[in-house]
């Protein structure tokens, strides 16, 4: 370890199991990765911990307590909706094509889903436009709209277990997380925005001269929305709820990896009394259905959550069509800063959760853990012990902390980062290879690229810092600016970091606190605009100024005629 110019480049890396398929046929084996990286500026010692699986092997390794499942459990739900929702009806794709959605636990097909193309997008947009221009939705009072949204929330709450099972089956997240955290959050968020529906109003403005000036806040029109695969239904709610509360109509494209939960809950919307065409759900692929939605001339608004690269493409398609406004919630490489006065045990646990939550597949994951040099050694040892205890297995089982990665594409992406570490000068002592003939089980390592790029997997870098000025500079030295965490007992330190970090959200002595009322979004290349809370409403509203002349001669002459008669 060596530091130059006040910066210490040494860091440790801990990783959780990266699983995509067939991990339930495997037991888990634990081992450590150790490698050394040298550069012209510093010599850095980096230790890595890998949690991985192998076929029919017993658990080994110091302090390991992992779940070893023999075979996958049967998902406790039936899939009965796999068609597009257009104009209040579930219909086949115009081409008749379908595509499979896979169980991340096994790679088996769950269902074949309608594959939308440009013609299907056109049908959905036409339905949304007609519903906005001519249907009962714009004629309803805001209170009536809120009642429909509340009825939907009640139905979703009633079907919590089925929806959570679909979410787990399709995405690989744990059932406990889906049923006890995410679906209740979705219900809460729809109720939150239902409460806003009849509280959206303009202002009266004291302009110069004999004029009455007011603003009207009107729905923007047809909203095109694209959601990702890591939180399919949660981000569905972040987009659909404010759009409907403001009186818009929606065409939503699901992620091709996780289409099932959105189709299921759209059925509940129809049961709640949502008029035909107000919510349309299409399933398909980005280059076809997604591109058609983004470039459609009759879509008035776009909202996208996904990678920064795809977000740039969404902006490009918007600019090439009708310059529709775009809200983007994109990638991140979020710092988690542990100051010298922090409670180390508490910081270790929160930092662990900040990274490994949802298999590390979280845009705001705290993937760069900065630890003050005075407590660095203690933190690393305790972080290692905590990582060794992480329980990986069938996400439908009780007590499981981590399920599989979403698919082979994500697996190969992480393997690519491992290879880049070796190619950058790292010597890989153990791990870092695919284990087993079927499953995607790996022990990843690190490199300078891994320390900068968003990996979207359970890979945690632990870096040493010397003082506040240094850690601010290093934390901000990225093109991303989505979120950050700070652990300290000093309020002045907390305030200094909170104001200095160029990110959209700062969590202090906590992480991943997502409330319906708290806005979320990024600085820099992490996006534009905000989701959730009051701030999200403005994304789905147009502001109209209405200016009326007082003492209008036309009005006065009308009054005189009325008096004479």
Q: Of 98, 52, 106, nearest to 75 (Cα)?
A: 106
| Residue tagged 């959570």 (tokens) | 164
Tokens of 427: 């010597």
Q: Are strands 222-226 and 26-38 parallel, antiparallel or unpaired?
A: unpaired
Could you say which of 167, 182, 256, 329 is catalytic? 329
Q: Residue 254 gets which letter from DSSP?
A: P
Q: Of 161, 307, 234, nearest to 515 (Cα)?
A: 234
The number of angstroms, rounded, from the C-alpha of 300 to the middle of its chain's C-alpha atoms is 23
List, in sequence order, every beta strand (DSSP E) within 260-405.
Answer: 279-282, 301-305, 326-329, 335-338, 368-372
Tokens of 305: 């959550």
Please confirm, yes or no, whether 349 is among the known catalytic residues. no
Separation of first and last alpha carbons in the chain:
97
How far apart are alpha carbons 394 and 366 in whole angstroms? 25
| Rg, the chain, Cα only | 26
Q: Are strands 527-528 and 211-219 parallel, antiparallel or unpaired?
A: unpaired
Q: Residue 439 gets which letter from DSSP?
A: S
Cβ burial, residue 424 (10 Å; 0-12/13-18/19+):
middle
Which residues form the catalytic set? 329
């Amino acid at each position: 370890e060596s530091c130059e110019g006040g910066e210490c480049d040494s860091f440790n890396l801990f990783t959780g199991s990266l699983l995509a398929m067939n991990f339930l046929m495997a037991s888990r084996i634990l081992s450590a990765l150790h490698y050394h990286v040298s550069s012209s500026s510093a010599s850095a010692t980096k230790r890595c911990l890998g949690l991985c699986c192998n076929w029919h092997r017993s658990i080994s390794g110091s302090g390991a307590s992992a779940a070893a499942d023999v075979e996958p459990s049967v998902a406790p739900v039936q899939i009965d909706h796999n068609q597009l929702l257009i104009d209040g009806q579930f219909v086949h794709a115009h081409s008749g094509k379908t595509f499979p959605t896979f169980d991340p636990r096994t790679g088996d097909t769950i269902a074949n889903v309608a594959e939308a193309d440009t013609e299907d997008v056109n049908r959905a947009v036409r339905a949304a436009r007609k519903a906005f221009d001519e249907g009962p939705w714009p004629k309803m009072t805001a209170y009536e709209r809120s009642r429909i949204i509340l009825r939907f929330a009640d139905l979703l709450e009633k079907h919590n277990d089925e929806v959570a099972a679909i979410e787990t089956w399709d995405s690989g997240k744990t059932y406990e997380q889906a049923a006890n955290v995410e679906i209740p959050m979705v219900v809460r968020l729809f109720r939150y925005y239902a409460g806003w529906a009849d509280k959206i109003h303009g202002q009266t403005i004291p302009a110069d001269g004999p004029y009455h000036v007011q603003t009207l806040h009107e729905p923007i029109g047809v909203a095109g929305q694209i959601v990702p695969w890591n939180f399919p239904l949660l981000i569905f709610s972040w987009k659909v709820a404010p759009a409907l509360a403001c009186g818009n109509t929606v065409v939503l494209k699901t992620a091709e990896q996780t289409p099932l939960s959105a189709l299921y809950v759209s059925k509940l919307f129809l049961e709640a009394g949502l008029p035909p065409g107000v919510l349309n759900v299409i399933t398909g692929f980005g280059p076809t259905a997604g591109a058609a939605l983004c470039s459609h001339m009759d879509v008035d608004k776009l909202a996208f959550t996904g990678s920064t690269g795809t977000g740039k493409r969404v902006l490009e398609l918007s600019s090439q069509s009708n310059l529709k406004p775009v809200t983007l919630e994109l990638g991140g490489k979020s710092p988690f800063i542990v100051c010298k006065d922090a409670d180390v045990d508490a910081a270790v646990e929160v930092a662990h959760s900040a990274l490994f939550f949802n298999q590390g597949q979280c845009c705001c994951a705290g993937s760069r853990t900065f630890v003050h040099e005075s407590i660095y050694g203690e933190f690393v040892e305790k972080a290692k012990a905590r990582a060794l205890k992480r329980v990986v297995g069938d996400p439908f089982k009780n007590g499981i902390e981590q399920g599989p990665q979403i698919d082979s594409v994500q697996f190969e992406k992480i393997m690519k980062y491992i290879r880049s570490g070796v190619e950058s000068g790292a010597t890989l002592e153990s791990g870092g290879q695919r284990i087993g003939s079927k499953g995607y089980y790996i022990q990843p390592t690190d490199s300078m690229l891994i320390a900068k790029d968003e990996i979207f997997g359970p890979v945690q870098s632990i870096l040493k810092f010397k003082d506040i000025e240094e850690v601010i500079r290093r934390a901000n030295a990225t093109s991303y600016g989505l979120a950050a965490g700070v652990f300290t007992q000093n309020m002045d330190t907390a305030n200094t970091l909170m104001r200095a970090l160029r990110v959209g959200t700062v969590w202090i002595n906590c992480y991943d606190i997502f409330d319906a009322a708290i806005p979320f979004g990024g600085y820099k290349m992490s996006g534009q605009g905000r989701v959730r809370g009051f701030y999200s409403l403005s994304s789905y509203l147009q502001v109209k100024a209405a200016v009326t002349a007082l003492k209008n001669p036309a009005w006065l002459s009308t009054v005189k005629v009325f008096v004479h008669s």
